[in-house]
Structure 1
Amino acid sequence: MEGGRRISVSPRPCSGRRVVAKKRARGSGVDGFVNSVKKLQRREISSKRDRAFSMSDAQERFRNIRLQEEYDTHDPKGHCSMGLPFLRKRSKIIEIVAARDIVFALAHSGVCAAFSRETNQRICFLNVSPDEVIRSLFYNKNNDSLITVSVYASDNFSSLKCRSTRIEYIRRGKPDAGFALFESESLKWPGFVEFDDVNGKVLTYSAQDSIYKVFDLKNYTMLYSISDKHVQEIKISPGIMLLIFTKAISHVPLKILSIEDGTVLKSFNHLLHRNKKVDFIEQFNEKLLVKQENENLQILDVRNFELTEVSRTEFMTPSAFIFLYENQLFLTFRDRTVAVWNFRGELVTSFEDHLLWHPDCNTNNIYITSDQDLIISYCKADSDDPLSEGNAGSINISNILTGKCLAKIRASNSFPMENECSCSGNCCGSSCALKKQSPASRIRSTVAEALEDITALFYDEERNEIYTGNRHGLVHVWSN
């Protein structure tokens, strides 16, 4: 999923993990940088496949998708070299990233394993130190490398450390061939690092001296810094950064900066209701979204300061956003449901048959395709599914513009017809009499078991494969 990913340090290993994954717009209407951003927008649009073909093709792409492989991130023998006891324990998958036919799976314990889709074997563990706890992963397509963000027991897990390793080195089983990033930065709690794939930038925050720094994602060169103790938050959009300052009694000071060089493009105050908590402030192109507790949603056009309000009964504060730059729309997630809105404050789409499994909207269980036409999510299974009892959910593929469910991976739709098992015993439900595991098979889970308690999901668009991870530390490959 393209967008920014922010990781903040926590005093304790693997807790308080803050990851903000958002899709933002390619274009912007703010004066002073509209031309360069519009070029990015045109380039993005021209590279797309025909949308009508994409929609008609979507159902066919997922029609015969089946459980094909199973990987295990837990290996007692392989973990013997890891000094921390919790690294040697089985734990749930919290993040999956795929790049160049390699699947990376990060467990909650902090162990990260790399698997080859060519050989279906584990290549290596990415933990290169016995006391390393990996917190997050980021694939840098600019230089074909994987960035790992880690904390270490040697400094009481108090500071983030980043490392870049070329995919080719990992393919050769040499995860220690990488190099450290941002060594000059003190990323102690509540410091953070944020990777912005859209703009090709990295934002770091050193809480020790209250300095934000922006780096080039291509070569990790520092571009500029922002030193202001009154900055409370920074939001990144294509071409720009929104600086949110300490709130005054009746307003919040805001600045819009060029992401390229930090030049101030606009500076203004936004009026607030006194003594009301601010639920969120978000920037999307020229639109500023502001919501206060028990108040209407405000959509401000920063070009002419035209204000649109949406009733608080129609738009309730969501738990997460995903901005869709191609369609000038945004997704909201609230109480396991997904909705699509435009910037006139109108509800565009409500999704049918798309009740999310996780109530807290775990963004690692949601994937938006690069064309921004499909959403793939881990959902509650149908009540009429004979195998939906217990913890088995379904993987739903839905059209974002219409809300229609195009395909679904569930336990019951993997049964063979007329007693003919077409899956070689690897993908049928637990009641399939023909399900026999061959000695060479790595799959030990039934489809129903593989669909239980999914904790991470990733879709590889090039291979047309879905990867899911569960609470047992297993990774399952779903493909044609």
Structure 2
Amino acid sequence: MEGGRRITVSPRPCCGRRVLAKKRQRRGGGVDGFVNSVKKLQRREISSRRDRGFSMSDAQERFRNIRLQEEYDTHDPKGTSSLVLPFLRKRSKIIEIVAAQDIVFALAQSGVCAAFSRETNQRICFLNVSPDEVIRSLFYNKNNDSLITVSVYASDSYSSLKCRSTRIEYVRRGMPDAGFALFESESLKWPGFVEFDDVNGKVLTYSAQDSLYKVFDLKNYTMLYSILDKNVQEIKISPGIMLLIFSKASSYVPLKILSIEDGTVLKSFNHLLHRNRKVDFIEQFNEKLLVKQENENLQILDVRNFELTEVSRTEYMTPSAFIFLYENQLFLTFKNRTVDVWNFRGEVVTSFEDHLLWHPDCNTNNIYITSDQDLIISYCKADSDDLLPEGNAGSINISNILTGKCLAKIRASNSFPMGKDCTCSDTDNCSGTACNSRKQTLASRIRSTVTEALEDITALFYDEERNEIYTGNRHGLVHVWSN
């Protein structure tokens, strides 16, 4: 998977990190669908941490006592916000969660984005600063500690993307309108897009009316260089390089590899294709090029020496999504609710136990990969032992990527609110004053039962610094799972 994110122009956001300017999101299969559906995980997968790696036992201990602790609501029933558009005032599902420092940002499908404080457990503000603003996606820019929102506006007939940067400190003060506009000179109408690349610290924009790509510095938003070529069909980003895919000829596709820093052409070549076969995907992973055509074998090409490895189409069927793990030189494939880990010799190295994803369409909003790339946290189908008679809740599974072993699980049958003031081992049956007081406080804030909180989860985020999992559901509620 590349390091980009594209978002569509429509009141309904897409799942990807590349933001496209178009009227409606395309559903179903196809190269655009599954390639772009997982781009939002890029910053989570490859961001660096000081304390890299922890053992399996450490991971089990870290998640052992996680319980439902808080509940936030993105709905504004009293009309205290300045939201005017009717669909913004309606309750809708959470489609994206981002955490930065002590603030949790939750974006609803309607286009409403709310910010919540983990210190006060109160809603700070809405990020929508205009009455007709529909926010499509969020991006936390760690380079300058700001949140970038990508929006469309009713006054513009939702026809073009507008970006705004707001410092986290301003959000904390309840001043979302203190931000400033980005890329105002760019025409980001369909099929234009903006793509945020946290790996290389770059932003890629595409103006369709000019067939012009521009690369900006993510630190200060200055333009670095541009690419003008009407024959470029797609650009894929990976660490240090960009892959330019040109219009396909009858039996080959022209490709160029550019330096991400200055746009210098590093390599230019043609890749042979089978005639009259649709291209499922072309992806670049460092020196490896992955090419898959319909009903053909997967090809893994080393662009340094053009050594070709093929994987039988019966062993590698086109997945609904895949994710590159740059640190481990592996990639994940998602198909039919299952996850497999592959190496670049075309071999499956891991199959996960007890990890049947809840969403059949690989809704990657419900998947988080830790920055060390050793754990995957997913919303999964609960097994028969986890199901309770009063609900149909799923479970939050934490699994080791290299072994496939399920290390921990948050499920309705064993997850109960636990008070921070309680030191006993059986919080639910404790009659101590501190424990009872804590449970009463929790009950006043949390309207959902644990079973209800584990039903219909539509977004998931793991804050690695705070060791907290945030989930959003179809009712617009955000739940905090912490120990």
The alignment's TM-score, normalised by the length of structure 1, stands at 0.89
CA contact (8 A) 2:30 2:280 kept: no
Distance of 2:109 and 2:436 partners within structure 1: 36
CA contact (8 A) 1:27 1:238 kept: no
Deviation at 1:6, TM superposition (A): 1.6
Q: Is the contact between residue 66 and residue 478 of structure 1 (CA under 8 Å) also seen in structure 2?
A: yes
Q: Could you tell me how far 1:350 is from its partner in structure 2?
A: 0.3
Q: Which moved more, 1:184-193 or 1:74-83?
A: 74-83
Task: State the 1:71 CA deviation.
Answer: 0.1
Equivalent pair of 2:56/2:407 in contact (CA under 8 Å): no
Contact 1:201–1:217 (CA under 8 A) maintained in structure 2: yes
Question: Do 1:112 and 1:134's aligned partners in 2 also have CA atoms closer than 8 Å?
Answer: yes
Aligned to 2:216: 215
Question: Matched residues, percent identical?
Answer: 91
- Aligned counterparts of 1:272 and 1:137: Cα–Cα separation in 2: 37
CA distance 1:442–1:21, change in 2 (3 Å): farther
Please tell me whether the aligned partners of residues 11 and 111 of structure 2 are also in contact (alpha carbons under 8 angstroms). no
Segment of structure 1 superposing worse, 37-46 or 71-80: 37-46
Cα distance change, pair 432–455 in 1 and its aligned pair in 2 (3 A): farther
> 2: CA distance between counterparts of 1:420 and 1:35?
44
- Kindly report the root-mean-square deviation, in angstroms, between the aligned alpha carbons of the 2 structures: 6.6
- Where in structure 2 are there 5+ consecutive unaligned residues? none
Structure 1 residues 305 and 134, CA, compared in 2 at 3 Å: closer, same or farther? same
* Counterpart residue number, 1:477: 480
Change (3 A) 1:388 1:6: farther
Contact 1:13-1:133 within 8 A present in 2 as well: no
Residues 59, 140 of structure 1: alpha-carbon distance in 2 compared, 3 angstrom cutoff: same
Matched, 1:236 2:247: no
Residues 241, 259 of structure 1: 8 Å contact kept: yes
Distance in 2 between the 1:37 and 1:9 partners? 18
User: C-alpha offsets along residues 434-469 of structure 1, whole Å, 9 cap, x if unaligned?
Assistant: 997558721000000000000000000000000000
CA separation of 1:54 and 1:427: change in aligned 2, threshold 3 A: farther
Change (3 A) 1:304 1:117: same
Rounded to whole Å, the distance in 1 between the matches of 2:34 and 2:336 is 38
SS of residue in 2 equivalent to 1:403: coil
Cα distance per residue 1:172-207 (max 9 Å; x no partner): 000000000000000001111110000000001111
The 1:198–1:66 alpha-carbon spacing in structure 2 relative to 1, beyond 3 Å, is same
Structure 1 distance, partners of 2:3, 2:368, is: 12
- Alpha-carbon offset, residue 321 of structure 1: 1.4
CA distance in 1, matches of 2:238, 2:157: 34
8 Å contact kept, 1:27–1:41: no
Please give the secondary structure, in 2, of the residue aligned with 1:208: coil
CA offset digits 1:71-115 (Å, max 9, x no partner): 000012245521200000000000000001100000000000000
Please state how far the C-alpha of 1:16 moved relative to its aligned partner. 10
User: What is the distance in 1 between the residues matched to 2:274 and 2:342?
Assistant: 24
CA contact (8 A) 2:468 2:480 kept: yes
- The equivalent of 1:450 in structure 2 is 453
- What do residues 239-259 of structure 1 show as CA deviations (whole Å, max 9, x unaligned)? 000000011100000000000
Instruction: Answer yes or no: is the 8 Å Cα contact 1:28–1:37 preserved in 2.
Output: no
Task: Name the CA shift for 1:230/1:79 in 2 (closer, same or farther; >3 Å).
Answer: farther
Aligned to 1:132: 133
CA offset digits 1:211-253 (Å, max 9, x no partner): 1110000000000111111111000000000000011100000
C-alpha distance after superposition, 1:345-390 (max 9, x if no partner): 0000000000111111112111000000000000001122242775
Q: Residues 56 and 22 (structure 1 numbering): CA distance in 2 closer, same or farther, change over 3 Å?
A: farther
Answer whether contact 2:44 2:369 (CA < 8 A) is retained.
no
1:313 Cα offset (Å) = 0.4
Query: What is the CA–CA distance in structure 2 between the aligned matches of 1:22 and 1:334, rounded to whole Å?
Result: 27
Of stretches 385-394 and 230-239 in structure 1, the one that deviates more from structure 2 is: 385-394
Aligned counterparts, 1:72-151, within 5 A: 72-78=73-79, 81-151=82-152
Query: Shift in Å at residue 18 of structure 1?
Result: 6.3
Distance 1:435 1:189, change over 3 A: same
How far did 1:60 drift? 0.3
Gaps of 5+ in 1: none
CA 388–479 in structure 1, closer or farther in 2 if over 3 Å, else same: farther
- CA gap of 1:358–1:300, structure 2 versus 1, over 3 A, is same
The 10-residue stretch of structure 1 (217-226 or 21-30) with the greater mean CA deviation from structure 2: 21-30
Query: Cα 1:479–1:301, aligned 2, differ >3 Å: closer, same or farther?
Result: same
Partners of 2:326 and 2:204 lie apart in 1 by 21
Shift of residue 30, structure 1, vs aligned partner: 25
Aligned equivalents of 2:38, 2:477: Cα separation in 1: 41
Q: Deviations over 1:389-429 (max 9, x none)?
A: 754100000000000000000000125999999899x9999
Aligned to 1:331, what secondary structure does the other structure show? strand
2:95–2:458: 8 Å Cα contact kept in structure 1?
yes
Gap change, CA 1:20 and 1:329, over 3 Å in 2 = farther
- Does the C-alpha gap of structure 1 residues 54 and 45 become closer, same or farther in structure 2, counting only changes over 3 Å? farther
With over 3 angstroms needed to count, the CA separation of the structure-2 counterparts of 1:275 and 1:28, relative to structure 1, is closer
Matches within 5 A, 1:198-209: 198-209=199-210
Distance 1:41 1:159, change over 3 A: closer
Q: Secondary structure at the match of 1:257?
A: strand
TM-score (norm 2): 0.88
Q: Mark the CA change 1:148 to 1:83 in structure 2 (over 3 Å): closer, same or farther.
A: same
Aligned counterparts of 1:150 and 1:50: Cα–Cα separation in 2: 36
Work out whether residues 93 and 470 of structure 1, in 8 Å CA contact, stay in contact via their aligned partners in 2.
yes
Report the more deviating stretch, 194-203 or 7-16.
Answer: 7-16
Single out whichever of 448-457 and 408-417 deviates more from structure 2: 408-417
In the alignment, structure 1 residue 275 sits paired with structure 2 residue 276: yes
